[in-house]
Amino acid sequence: MAANQQVGMELDPKYDDYDFPTVAPEARSGHPGHLTAQQQAQVHQLRLMLENEGYTKRLDTITLLRFLRARKFDVELAKKMFVECEKWRNEVKLDETLPNWDYPEKEEMFKYYPQYYHKTDKDGRPVYIEQLGSIDLNAMYKITTQERMLMNLAVEYERVADPRLPACSRKAGFLLETCCTIMDLKGVGISKAGQVYSYVSAASNLSQNYYPERLGRLYIINAPWGFSGVWSMIKGWLDPVTVQKIHILGSGYQKELLNQVPAENLPKEFGGKCECPGGCKMSDAGPWKDPQWAKPAKWSKEAQTTIHNQGGSIQTEQDARAAVTAEAEVAAAGAGLSAPASQ
């Protein structure tokens, strides 16, 4: 088979325990469901290298593909990125913190820096909104610390991976891996630029280094005068694929934004029609809150403590899923069929 011939995607039963669609909607090279033979081999190579160094978590195919795409399928560079990410996760004790994380200062913090997920865009992706106009780090650091702000950001990224994106994927009927981000610069003047930069720079490093391939589209709205000129210089240094995802808009942004986000999903303050009870900022509304599409995150206490009584034996939810899969395979074999691949 030719190395550049598309083969779809092999799933590894040891790691690929998906309960949502696993094929990307567009046949883009290197994306789940649309791999070449060479790319599939690179997934296997990366996984084997990581296993040989003792890694056992997050070795599923879709995760490894994100790291490979972030490093242009250079396996050594993707491995380095993955290892550095795991080192960071261990240093901040993210896996231990995640199921127990509480951020009671959130509502007070939102007076200065609203950051929230709210419903979906026309492609089914979660919409993430940041408003930087009221940011005041001196006031914010009386409420919390930068360390807690960054930990909350990491927790929210984990919640994007599960349960937000899986719920959106189930609703859409195909795999969704990215978000649509709206960054509102209204009120951000020169006097606040330094404060905004200090935190946003740290947050951006966290995003780029540890959560690759999560940006679907970025709309920077209410961009101040002169921002477009700066952007025209900066974009020359960026990957063209990234540049295509970024849209710089001034105060007349509503028409273009509404082309991407349905009016009923966009908060009213941005030109949409949504007015969630209690306010859109605090609602966390989306498919991940809809029982039709939502399932407990695999890292959550709810999922970890779910048990199934199996005639005197107790199984975890993961064991139960494996048992159902095995039963389906036996039944299919009895009928002279092969069980369908996970979608």
Residues 81 and 169 in one domain: no
Whether residue 319 lies inside any domain: the answer is no
Res 233: pLDDT: 74
**CATH number of domain containing 278:** 3.40.525.10
Q: Please indicate, yes or no, if residue 76 is contained in any of the structural domains.
A: yes
Domain-ending residue, one of 248, 268, 289: 289
Which backbone phi and psi does 129 adopt, to 5 degrees? Answer: -120, 135
* Whether residues 154 and 268 fall in one domain: yes
Q: List, in order, residues 6 or more apart from 110 with CB less than 8 Å away.
A: 116, 281, 282
Boundary of a domain, candidates 67, 92, 117: 92
Half-sphere exposure of 15 (CA within 13 A, CB side): 18
Q: Are residues 69 and 180 in the same domain?
A: no
> What is the structure's pLDDT at 327?
35
Residues 21 and 118 occupy one common structural domain: no
User: Could you list the mean pLDDT of each consecutive 10-residue stretch along the chain, which spans 343 residues?
Assistant: 72 96 95 96 98 98 98 98 98 97 96 96 98 88 94 97 98 98 86 69 90 95 80 75 88 97 98 96 97 96 57 38 37 34 34
159 & 61 share domain: no
Total of domains in the chain = 2
pLDDT score, position 133 = 87
Residue from 192, 246, 183 nearest 216 by CA: 246
Does an H or E element contain 246, and which?
strand 246-248
Which residues are registered as beta bridge partners of 215?
179
pLDDT for the residue 312: 35
- Burial status of residue 138 (CB atoms within 10 A of its CB: 0-12, 13-18, 19 or more): exposed
Do both 78 and 120 map to the same domain?
Answer: no
Please indicate, yes or no, if residue 185 is contained in any of the structural domains.
yes
The pLDDT of residue 193: 64
Looking at the domain assignment, is residue 263 inside a domain? yes
The CATH number of the domain where 75 resides is what? 1.10.8.20
Q: What's the pLDDT score for residue 332?
A: 35
pLDDT of residue 100: 96
Is 320 within a domain?
A: no
| Residue 151 resides in a domain | yes
Residue 342 lies in a domain: no
Query: In terms of domains, do 150 and 83 share one?
Result: no
What is the residue range of 30's domain? 8-92
Same domain, 63 and 168: no
251 and 216 inside one domain: yes
Between β-strands 115-120 and 215-221, what pairing exists: parallel, antiparallel or unpaired? unpaired
pTM for the whole structure:
0.85
* Same domain, residue pair 149 and 24: no
Structural domain ending residue among the three candidates 40, 57, 92: 92
In a domain, 317, yes or no: no
pLDDT at residue 2, rounded to an integer: 56
Q: Are 317 and 324 in contact, with CB atoms under 8 Å apart?
A: no
Does residue 79 sit in the same domain as residue 113?
A: no
Clarify whether residues 43 and 133 are in a common domain. no
